[in-house]
Chain A
Amino acid sequence: MNAMLLNVIHRADRGAARLEVLRFQQAEAQRHGLRTTILVTYGALFDAEVCDFVAREAAEHDVEIGIHLHELVCDDYRARFGTEEKAIYLLPTSTRQAVIRFLVKRFEEVFGFSPRSIGSYILDAATLRFLRAEFPGVRTAIVSCFEEGLKMYHGNNRQWHLFSEGGPWGIFYPSKNCHLCPAKDDDDAVGLVALPHLNRDMVLSLTSRDDLFASHPVNLIRAMANEGDRCDYLLHFIDQWLEQLRYNDHVYYSLFVSPPWLAAGHPFSTDPAAARRLYGESLAYLADRKNAGLVRDQTVSETGEWYREHVPINRAEVNLWSDILCGSRRQMFWYVDAHFRLTVDLNAGGTICDLRPFTGQLDRNMGADTANLWNGNYPYLISSEHRGGVTAGPRQTAELRCRGARVAVTARRTVGRVVKGKDGPELVTDPVTLDVGGVNVTVVSAFRFPGGGVVEIERRVLAISDPTATLELVETHRGCWGTTEYPEDMRGIILAAESGADRRELRYAYGARTLRIAAPQRVEATLPMARCQVALQPVEGVENGEAVEGFMFQPFYTLSLGGVVNAGESLKTRLVLRAT
């Protein structure tokens, strides 16, 4: 069944002003015939008027009630837990658990039943394991803010500490070991269904601030992308998510605006009437799409149960997103499964611009008593955005070499389409034509996902303007590791090139050394710090392979495979990720 699963989520905060907003939100959703979930915050559980309203809504309108873990700070919280910490995900583990225990107990006293859903900006694996063990009735949780991290941090003048980069954008079964890694199998699954906090613009998720360009209508006012009470981008945004149903069995959509955004006095939402108009228009359009049979409105826990019933563990999800804001014609393609998350920038000719290897399932637990402290980002092997751009930074691309010139497909923008292949969705780019030493070469790229941590990449040469020219085509993977924009210590990485019994290795020491091998079977980098190995393997045999060490000013490694190709021929390689 292809449907967009819709959660309209409202947060109940304490106080009359915010209750007035909640009343407005509930009335708007009911006017459009949409189900809602109200997540109640700490302070609201001590506000009788708010709790009465929420309980009545549940009784009269079949609203689900759960808990939200933001807005913790109030007098009771300070007195009871002796802290000013705003973020539940940054509290020491024992305090965090005590807060959740207290909130669940208080919730049960107020409403007379146990919550089935809990929301937060981040719930790390340690917290998910705790929830599963102590509160098995909680089966669905809002676990992460997709790709909120460095760009959001910079944009907020380095004052909003939320680092949640590198995970899935949709619904998934989180691993016991890491809240951002989809589980590989039943044993690996923590036992909860994870939802993202909001949907994001999937181009701006990498290039800008996806906290501003999301399924949160009022953030468009913050971004100054509205004209009064109009911002049709919001409606095109919903259409873009509906478009994803062409490639996936289901799509998740979360409309979640907390009360301050719709109240008077918000520093960024200076026109509450316009904010409410935009909010109402989003609901109206989602209701319109529901009436067209494209949207199924559910409560949060209903979505979790639907997912358990319909989606097996380790089901891949893809997203092909076109820029609908800036008019750049840029497209990004995303793929995620239990082994990795990969992003292809079609503006860079079909270049892998981001790669997160989940095979190692690294601990990304946060809090004052953890090694990671604030940093919940899952490590990348490739992040062009954080580490130098697609030209100078980490990337995987195809390089064309002819008459002494070297040009990568990165140099020409293209667009792509998702087609159905034997192993599931495939990405195919439109051809790009490049001038390589005075010879025009036209190349098309295809990315296939057979599972098991493998990407098959085909670069097919469609035409060469000079048939006498000798063209070399080289698949090139330039990688590193990190979670921020700063280089990490690369020592400990082992590079290798292998052909039959001939295996050569070097330990990374910033020495700019090269391992070169003929008729390679694989070139690889082993990264103990990411507990993973990344390799390039030829599908049909190639002439040359290299593993190249970087140096301090360019702290990367480069793996490459290639050889001479003629028009009509392809270079087929596999990018293979496995745990070490």
Chain B
Amino acid sequence: MKTYRCPMCFARDVDVVFLLHDSVRDEHYCPQCAYSASAGEVEARLSAYCAARYRMAARPHPFASRVRETAEGVRSDER
């Protein structure tokens, strides 16, 4: 089963807490803080947090753009 970091702990810079799965309720819950949610909600919260915090992480770099630009989608550094 896919594992998830706790979005609430992660937002406090604590990244080592993984959610546990409650199979009866099909819900993921945090062993550290008072968070529980469905897998979909967890993913949405983590995605939203990372998108908001790391606003410049995906800013294209000229080198990456250069080596990734190939007609077949094969990266030029592999040819």
Interface residues of A (CB under 8 A from B): 151, 154-157, 159, 208-209, 212, 220, 222-227, 230-233, 235-236, 239, 267-268, 270, 280-281, 284-285, 288, 323-327
CB contacts (< 8 Å) of B58 on chain A: these are: 227, 230-233
Is B71 in the interface zone, CB < 8 Å from A?
Answer: no
**Residues on the B chain within 8 Å of A209, using CB:** 13, 15
B77 touches A270 (CB 8 A): no
With CB as the reference atom, state the residue of chain B lying closest to A239. B61
- Cα A285 to Cα B61 in complex, Å, equals 11
Q: List 12 A-B contacts (CB under 8 A).
A: A154-B14, A157-B14, A157-B17, A157-B32, A209-B13, A227-B58, A232-B64, A233-B59, A281-B64, A325-B56, A325-B57, A326-B54
Q: How far is the CA of A233 from the CA of B60 in the complex (A)?
A: 8
Residue B44 CB within 8 A of the other chain: no
Interface centre among A208, A231, A232 (most CB of B within 10 A): A232
Shortest Cβ distance from residue B35 to the other chain A in the assembled complex, whole angstroms: 15
- Which residue on chain B has the smallest CB distance to residue A327? B55
Give which listed residue, B18, B50, B64, contacts A230 with CB less than 8 A.
Answer: B64
Q: Which residues of A contact B61 (CB under 8 A)?
A: 232, 235-236, 239
* Beta-carbon nearest neighbor of B17 in chain A: A157
Contact residues of B: prevailing secondary structure: loop
CA distance A223 to B60 in the complex (A): 19
A233 vs B61: C-alpha distance when bound (angstroms): 8
Q: Across the interface, do A235 and B13 meet the contact criterion of CB distance under 8 Å? A: no
- Which of B57, B60, B64 is most buried by chain A, counting CB atoms within 10 A of its CB? B57
- The A-contacting residues of B in range 20-56, CB under 8 angstroms, are 32, 46, 50, 53-56
B70 close to A (CB within 8 Å): no
B74 at the interface (CB under 8 A from A): no
Please name the residue on chain A nearest to B32 by beta carbon. Answer: A157
Q: Are A236 and B16 in contact (CB under 8 A)?
A: no
CB distance from B28 to the nearest CB of A (A): 16
Smallest CB separation, B6 vs chain A (Å): 11
* Contact across chains for A268 and B59 when beta carbons are under 8 A apart: no
- The docked-state distance in angstroms from the alpha carbon of A511 to that of B59 is 52
User: Bound complex: CA of A566 vs CA of B55, how far in Å?
Assistant: 42
Nearest CB on A from B8, distance (A) = 13
Which residues of A lie under 8 Å from residue B16 when comparing CB positions?
Answer: 155-157, 159
Chain A's nearest CB lies how many Å from the CB of B1? 12
Q: Is the CB of B64 within 8 A of A267?
A: no
Contacts of B3 in A (CB 8 A): 267, 270
Measured in the bound complex, the distance between the Cα atoms of B68 and A284 in whole Å is: 12
CB distance from B12 to the nearest CB of A (A): 8
Which residues of B lie under 8 Å from residue A223 when comparing CB positions?
15, 54
Residues from chain B with Cβ under 8 Å of A268 in the complex? 15
Residues of A within 8 A of B32 (CB): 157
Nearest chain A residue, comparing its CB with the CB of B47: A224
| A-chain residues with CB within 8 Å of residue B60 when the two chains form the complex | 232
Top 4 closest pairs, chain A to chain B, by CB: A327-B55, A235-B61, A232-B61, A233-B57
Please tell me if the beta carbons of B50 and A225 are within 8 angstroms of each other in the complex.
yes
Tell me the minimal C-beta distance from B53 to chain A in angstroms. Answer: 6
With a cutoff of 8 Å between Cβ atoms, the chain B residues found around residue A159 in the complex are: 16
Check B13–A232 contact: CB distance below 8 A.
Answer: no
Structural contact, B56 and A285, CB atoms closer than 8 A: no
**C-alpha gap A223/B54 in the complex (Å):** 10
With both chains docked as a complex, state the minimum distance between the C-beta of A282 and any C-beta of chain B, in angstroms: 10
Which chain A residues border B5 with CB–CB below 8 Å? 224
Nearest CB on A from B21, distance (A): 16
Structural contact, B56 and A208, CB atoms closer than 8 A: no
Of chain B, the residue at the smallest CB distance from A235 is B61
Check A281–B77 contact: CB distance below 8 A.
yes
In the complex the two chains form, is B54's CB within 8 Å of A235's CB? Answer: no
The distance from the CB of A86 to the nearest CB of chain B, in whole angstroms, is 16
Residues of A within 8 A of B54 (CB): 223-225, 233, 325-326
- Complex CA–CA separation, A157 to B5 (angstroms): 13
Contact present for B13 and A224 (CB under 8 Å):
no
Question: How far does the Cβ of B10 sit from chain A's closest Cβ, in whole Å?
Answer: 7
Query: In the complex, which of the residues A224, A233, A236, A280 contacts B77, with contact meaning CB atoms closer than 8 Å?
Result: A280
A-B contacts besides A156-B15, A227-B57, A268-B15, 9 pairs, CB < 8 Å: A154-B13, A159-B16, A220-B57, A224-B50, A227-B58, A231-B58, A235-B63, A281-B77, A324-B59
Task: Chain A residues near B59: list those with CB within 8 A.
Answer: 232-233, 236, 324
In angstroms, Cα B13 to Cα A151, docked, is 8
A326 touches B56 (CB 8 A): yes
Whether the Cβ atoms of B56 and A155 lie closer than 8 Å is no
Distance to closest chain B CB from A328 (angstroms): 8
A284 touches B67 (CB 8 A): yes
Residues of B within 8 A of A226 (CB): 57
Most chain A C-beta atoms within 10 Å of own C-beta, residue among B14, B16, B54: B54
Taking CB as reference atom, which chain B residue is nearest A324?
A: B56
Q: Which residue of B lies closest to A156 (CB)?
A: B16
In Å, the complex CA distance between A231 and B16 comes to 21
**In the bound complex, how far is the Cα of B63 from the Cα of A233, in angstroms?**
12
Residue of A nearest to B2 (CB): A270
CB distance from B78 to the nearest CB of A (A): 9
Considering the chains assembled together, what is the distance between the CA atoms of A330 and B50 in angstroms?
A: 18
Query: Nearest Cβ distance between residue A208 and chain B, in whole angstroms?
Result: 6
CB of B32 to closest CB in A, whole Å: 7
Question: What is the bound-complex CA distance between A159 and B59, given in angstroms?
Answer: 34
Q: Which residues of B contact A326 (CB under 8 A)?
A: 53-56
B67 — which chain A residues lie within 8 A by C-beta?
Answer: 281, 284
